[in-house]
Structures are given as C-alpha cells and as structure tokens.
Amino acid sequence: LTFPLLSVTLLVSFGSSMLYGYNLAVVNSPAVHIKAFYNATWSQRYGHGLAPGPLTLLYSLTVSIFALGGLVGSLLVGVLVERYGRNGTLSRSALLVLLASGLMGFSRELGSPEMVIIGRSITGLHSGRCCGAVLDPFLMARSPTAHSQGAGEDFISPTATGSAVGVSMGQTGIFICLGVFFAQVLGLPELLGKDRFWPLFLSVVVVPASLQLLLLHCFPESPRYLLIERNDVCRATEALHRFLGTRDVQDVIEEMKEEQQSLSSVEMVSVWQLLRDRSVRWQTLSVVVVNAGMQLSGIDAIWFYTNIIFENAGIPASQIPYTTVGTGAIEVVAGLIGCFTIEKLGRRPLIITGFCAMGICSAGITVSLLLQTALPWMRYIGVACVVGIIAGFCMGPAGVPFLMTAELFTQSHRPAAYIVGGSLNWLCNFTIGFIFPFLQMSAGAFCYLVFCGVCLLVALYVYLIVPETKNKTFMEISHIFA
C-alpha cells in the first residue's frame, strides 16, 4: 500500500467502522448515571420519579434507537454515494455527528432526556451511512447496506479481490473491536466513567468525525466512482496517480472501463424479485439465517449491557470496569486472529466454530449464574464465558456473513442480497438492544439459553446447507446449492 492509499483507508475506517463500535459500547458504562438523570428529570417535571419498568423502557429505547437510525441511514446511502461520491457522503455524514454530539453533550444542562435519545438516533444514522459509503469493489453506490471492505480496494476490479477481500472484511471487524475497546477504556472511573462526565463521554464521537471531516479533503475521490459513475477519466486518472504512486495506470483504467461496460449490461434485480427467485432460494435463506443469527447471537447484549451482565454474575462493582476493559482487549486480539485466518481456514470452519463457541458459552453463563450462590468461584466461569462469546464472534461471525453474502450471488442479485442482509442486521440489533433488559428481568439466568439456541441452530444450518465459498466461482457455488 502506498502512503496516500493507506492513509485514506485508515481515515475512512477510523471515522466509520471504529465510530460504529464506539457507539455500540458507549452506553454500557454510564448506564447508572443516565438512568439517574432520566429519573431526576422526570421528578422535576411531574413531581414523581419513574417506576423501574418505565425507566428500563426509556433506557432501552436510548440504547436501541441507534440501530433504527442505522437502518434509515443504510437505506439512504446508495442515493447519496451515487450523487456525492464516497468523500462527499462521508463528509456530510460527519456533520451529523457534530449535531448529535451537541445534543448529547448539553442534554444534562438543559434537562432533556429527549436530546440524548435524538442524539443516539443521529449517531446511528451516521453509522448506517458511513458503513455503506465505503463499499466493496463490485458494489460501488449500488448496495446501500453493505459494510465496508476498505477504501483501499475502491479501484480494484472483481478479478483482483481474492484474499484481499477477506483481509479487508477482517480490517472492518478490527476497527469495530477497537471502537468498542476505546469506549470501554474511556468508561473507566479514572477517565470519563464518573457521573459528571457522562455527557462528554457520549459526545466524544465528535473528535474522530471532525478529523475525518477535515482530512478527507486532502484526498481525491474514489477512482471507481469518478470513472464508473461519473465517467470522468481525467479525475480518475489523477486519483489513481496519487493513490498508487505511479504514472502508469492505464491498465487499471482499461480494467475499470471494461467493468463499466459489463455493469451497464447487467440488469439489477429488486429485493422483491430476489425473494421470489427460486433459483437463488437457498442462497437467500442462507443470507437471512446467517445475518439475523449474527445479531441474535447475544453479542449485542454483551456490548450494550456488559456491566449489568457482570453485576448479575456477582463481580464486585469496583472490579467491573476493569473486567470489561479486559474483555475488550481480548476482543481486539480475536479480531486480529480472524482477520488473518479467514483466507487460510475458509468461511465454514470459522463461522461454524464461532457460533458453536458462542452457544456453549451462553449456556455456560446460565450454569454459572445458577450455581454462583453455592459456588462463589462460578462468577469467574461466567466472565470466561463472556470472553468466549466475544472471541467466538470476532473470529468468525463478525465478518464472514458479509463476505459470504458477496460470494453467494452474482452481480445482478448481490445488491438486493446486501439490502436484505443489512436490513436484518440493523433490525435484529434494535430488537436485542430493546428487549434484553426485559428478557433478563423475566427469565433471569435462563435468558442466555435463547442465545444458545440461536447460535447452535445457525451453526447446524451452515453445517448442513451452506457450502465452502473460498476459491469458488459464483457458478460453482450455485451448482452446489442446486
């Protein structure tokens, strides 16, 4: 990678994938302080505090509204990228974070819980737009809910993706893990984990967004966008000169022109046509199962409510923040392992092993909670199981579903498949974030058995139905399904 190419890749990932991870975990540490603020504000307005049920409902909405904003943003990004390009879309999205940061940062001074909820929804809107704006090489501006494969591959044609696609998917997962880890570190009592700092903690997202807004103008627009979408050969050539560090880019230009011609002759199917197409019925069902299972596996509950889970597991309150940071560090290491093994081990082994590990560890949490009264050391088994869920997720289910979605379909069906998979991701993220506290209150320790069942069923489905897609063409994969 040349320095300009590496720089823009890191910058885009820093302002999109890492911010997404940060926003997933940022509400975990200040949960007690936010609830106290909501209760105090309600008391000032109406003369009485909130009952536990309505307070949990209000806080669950604050946590999960992020995913609804992400769903809306992901559905808008296709139009935005086609109109403004990658840089333009990311710059406009960064402005949303400035607005959200102001709302959340001044919410306590103005006594407005509504500002926190609206701010969270706007950060979700930003994440949905950014995670879709950095699209893979063969989906530029056509797949509104695809997660990024890295800006470094914007100009590479489908014939050159190979193992780089897998590594790029792993890169996205690593930056998400880093975002979660930074949120956990900043949530320590010595930093921003105190009551008076929680508005600042929520609004820290303004820093990476501002850096991205300032520095994106130093880099040219995506060469693929300039040539394929705008037919601007001159600007695309100049961008390639800067990104590749060489004047000899004619071969790349010719390759993109061939891709432009091939794309113009391909008729893209709609989501409705995809769902009705019997020839890809099993591929579509596989996308639904794997993408929904990824979010319903319990990982979102871990990210959103880590401190509450550890508190119920019997971990002393003074140790919970540091235990949480420890799990985040392991998460980053697991993400690195997954990034560099996805092309060596294949997709099926990673995703089956990951879901099986998550399912077993979810059952382990239930066992540890049931036995911790009689056996105090079982609390550490519970912590180990949480770590196991995170590690299992990062090594397989975190990135493989997005890669498999690209590999199971031809160009004509792939955008619609990404819309289906991406929409399910955001909707299931919202579902878990919203219902988990109520599930925990009603089912107690047994609530984790729901996640156990989901993980094991998805692993069984992949084992029985989904073939290995590594080093196979779309036609070979379709023949296996047939």
- The two tokens of residue 155 are 């100009």
Give just the sign of the alpha carbon dihedral 435, 192, 116, 95: negative
Q: What is the average per-residue pLDDT within 278-300?
A: 89
Q: Which superfamily does CATH assign the domain made up of 272-481 to?
A: MFS general substrate transporter like domains (1.20.1250.20)
Question: At 144, phi and psi to the nearest 5?
Answer: -65, -15
* Domain pair 1-143+161-219 / 272-481, same fold: yes
* Diameter of the chain measured on Cα atoms: 73
pLDDT at 21: 86
Are the CB atoms for 402 and 147 separated by under 8 Å? yes
- CATH architecture label of 1-143+161-219: Up-down Bundle (1.20)
Please state the domain extents for the chain: 1-143+161-219, 272-481
- Give 44-70 pLDDT, tens digit per residue: 998 888 888 899 999 999 999 999 999
- Give 138-185 pLDDT, tens digit per residue: 333 333 333 333 333 343 333 334 444 444 555 666 788 888 889 999
pLDDT at 458: 94
pLDDT at 110: 92
Q: What is the average per-residue pLDDT within 463-470?
A: 82
Rounded-to-integer distance, Cα 45 and Cα 480, Å: 63
pLDDT at 393: 86
Q: Which residue has the higher pLDDT, 361 or 349?
A: 361
Per-residue pLDDT band for 119 (boundaries 50, 70, 90) equals very high
Give just the sign of the alpha carbon dihedral 328, 343, 17, 396: negative
Q: DSSP class of residue 248?
A: -
- Give 205-261 pLDDT, tens digit per residue: 888 888 888 887 777 777 877 887 788 888 888 888 877 777 788 888 887 787 777
CA distances from 192 to 62, 103, 185 (A): 19, 18, 9
Are the CB atoms for 397 and 355 separated by under 8 Å? yes
pLDDT at 170: 52
pLDDT at 138: 32
Give this prediction's pTM: 0.83
Residue 231 gets the label, from left (phi > 0), alpha (psi -120 to 50) or beta, of left
pLDDT at 165: 47
Rounded-to-integer distance, Cα 22 and Cα 179, Å: 4
* Closest alpha carbon to 205 in 455, 465, 15: 15
Q: Which residue has the higher pLDDT, 239 or 116?
A: 116
